[in-house]
Chains A and B, each alone.
Chain A
């Protein structure tokens, strides 16, 4: 424990994880005195047959789904949110369930702000801690694939960013019927975002035992289950574990400052359109190595989460950090099909690399300079493939 260091930690979400988790939703809604949720889902949910399973889970309950909106596309749009407000009020809804991934959750969070706070323009609430009263009950049912913000206390709507503890979902329902992997590439990208968030949260100078419990659990889930999922994407248990990891990493991310790999990954995504998970995965080993060099240590507890008690205990103390770095590289190598070995393969023009470093420096996190970010980017640019 850091001597006398002050920390503050919060997570609103309750996790239901496992067989028949969906069928617990009506009772959970009841505990909030809610009986008419509005369901907001991404397009793929109906297409992949998950809508049917979801709706059937409400059979024999006394919960009526006020409306099932399954047309959320690639991003959350304020026009959609405003139209959903009409649907919400028309049906007398009292709660919101987001089903699917990223954009559904952002749309739902936007709608919740609109219907709970009596504002006409949610963009006036942009920023951190601008919400001061609780919102209506908000549940999420993630499918495989997460952008890292879904189950966090943040929302991104048309490039406007919102951060508030009141945006956390009240309940996160992880049901193996929903979290099964259809697209292993996307599952890998989500796992990489989660891993980056979890590792950087546990590295950060503000780490604490509460946040560590979440980040280390996420790291352990990913190290144990990503190889299993890569080998057999149909493995439901591995898929569920990865979805749980996404949820836990989102909490760790909500309670710690963003790390270098996240900041650079997001900047590259914004500038080049490359998937943020892929960028973060390439950058992560180099960012952590850089931080070790700067005395922001990777703690040897990470090895415990990555490799388990026996491996950690039998590694001499002085070698644990190096071994932890090796474990990370090994994991990246196993996902080589989906995560290129280095930035070079993404063919990003040098001027955009520099632009990303500049934007990262402007974010002010960890006091890193343009030069520091360029070092990380250059190391990531020329790293050889690990076999």
Chain B
């Protein structure tokens, strides 16, 4: 186990996991003296019937919990005006807790609402920045509906100010949800392509957490477990969506990966992925699956040993034992590419393996070739590159994005290499 010279770790969210985990919510909220919850969600989750399931689960016999209100108009990009207005709903209905059911933007909105209703005021932007929130907030329960972004485990909320075209970051351990509920009913109806790319999102979080600069023992162990769970379950979750065991395993994997990356940070894959998402509006998980093998190739000279170790949780002990140590890094990268190909087959071609093949609902290409320099430039302003083992310049970004666009492996000789063998 690598014990870095200095590292920090915190995984402070209470996790409830199981086929009936939702039913445990009223008991937990009762312990926190809460009687009336505000449910925050979005239209997609609501129309998939998930809110109905949540409401039924938390109203079973013996539950003293009531639902004060349901807000289901959370936009795909959390907005401060929405946060401010939902806080008013919370107050008007005398709620004393929040249950956030959805993905990243629902969670961020809920975190923002929780700040306002706990600390007072009518504009959440007053609390932006690192460490501005210094006291415990009201109870917040996170129920993720994808597996997933892991945002139920992160201490960051990103809320946009669309008037000024900026995104405000809120960072504090007090923003963490009190409870994360991993219930397979929440992802059971997830379509195959979304299951595939959100699963690869979790995989990317875990893999990058394992070799990026913030690596530490606990992020390693949680990442390792997450990779094992994704590898064993992702294809089955795509092919047999009703298999609750696979769904639960993927939910656990996403949560573990969320803990891992929020403590160890991420690197090139997220850096280029965020930029591609911002410029071309490609869903986050799609970018992650495509860039993941490139992230490993780019950093091979720095953290090849670690990438080689990943063959174990990915492919299992038998293949690990059979593969000579020197060949393991390449075997890991090939395994991930192979997994992407299998997911492509399992989703009828919808899981893209190259940027040029990403299509929107109308079948139109989402990442034109001339967007590459724009993406490369945007990536220069994204914080994830700080923790990537190798330096990334504008030209380096162009090289990687072009390879990912074509779907061809990186030419390792073209990578400008700093000192080999990263020390932690």
Assess A/B contact in the complex (Cβ within 8 A).
yes
CB <8 Å contact, B321 and A244: no
B residues 1-22 near A (Cβ < 8 Å) are 1, 3-12, 14-21
CB <8 Å contact, A313 and B10: no
A residues 189-227 near B (Cβ < 8 Å) are 208-210, 212-214, 216-217, 220-221, 224
Bound: A129/B16 CA distance, A: 17
Bound: A378/B249 CA distance, A: 41
Q: Which residues of A are found within 8 Å of B6, using beta-carbon distances?
A: 16-21
Q: Mark A101-113, 1 if CB is under 8 A from B, else 0.
A: 0000000000000
Q: Which segment, of A1-9, A56-64, A335-343, A348-356, faces chain B?
A: A1-9
B residues 87-128 near A (Cβ < 8 Å) are none
In the complex, whether B318 has a CB less than 8 A from a CB of chain A is yes
A residues 299-341 near B (Cβ < 8 Å) are 309-310, 312-314
Q: Which of A4, A8, A33, A209 contacts B245 (CB 8 A)?
A: A4
In the complex, whether A73 has a CB less than 8 A from a CB of chain B is no
CB <8 Å contact, A220 and B1: yes
CB <8 Å contact, A237 and B317: no
CB <8 Å contact, B21 and A1: no
In the complex, whether B422 has a CB less than 8 A from a CB of chain A is no
Q: Interface size bucket, B side?
A: 35 or more
In the complex, whether B131 has a CB less than 8 A from a CB of chain A is yes
Q: Mark A12-47, 1 if CB is under 8 A from B, else 0.
A: 111111111100100000111100000000000000
Q: Which of A129, A237, A313 contacts B3 (CB 8 A)?
A: A237
CB <8 Å contact, B14 and A8: yes
In the complex, whether A132 has a CB less than 8 A from a CB of chain B is yes
Total CB contacts across the A-B interface at under 8 A: 130
Q: Which of B19, B229, B312 contacts A313 (CB 8 A)?
A: B312
CB <8 Å contact, B19 and A6: yes
Q: Which residues of A are found within 8 Å of B248, using beta-carbon distances?
A: 1, 4
Q: Which residues of A are found within 8 Å of B216, using beta-carbon distances?
A: 17
Q: Which residues of A are found within 8 Å of B373, using beta-carbon distances?
A: none
Q: Which of B8, B173, B320 contacts A17 (CB 8 A)?
A: B8
Given A4-B244, A18-B5: A213 and B10 interface contact (C-beta under 8 Å): no
CB <8 Å contact, A313 and B320: yes
In the complex, whether B225 has a CB less than 8 A from a CB of chain A is yes
Nearest CB of chain B from residue A314's CB, rounded to whole Å: 5
CB <8 Å contact, B17 and A7: yes
B residues with a Cβ closer than 8 A to A are: 1, 3-12, 14-21, 24, 31, 33, 131, 134-136, 172-173, 216-218, 220-222, 225, 229, 244-245, 248-249, 252, 255-256, 309, 312, 317-318, 320-321
28 contacts between A and B (CB under 8 A): A4-B248, A6-B16, A6-B17, A6-B21, A7-B18, A9-B15, A10-B14, A10-B15, A12-B12, A15-B10, A17-B7, A17-B8, A18-B6, A19-B5, A209-B256, A210-B11, A210-B15, A210-B17, A212-B225, A213-B222, A214-B218, A220-B221, A237-B3, A240-B3, A241-B3, A244-B3, A248-B218, A313-B312
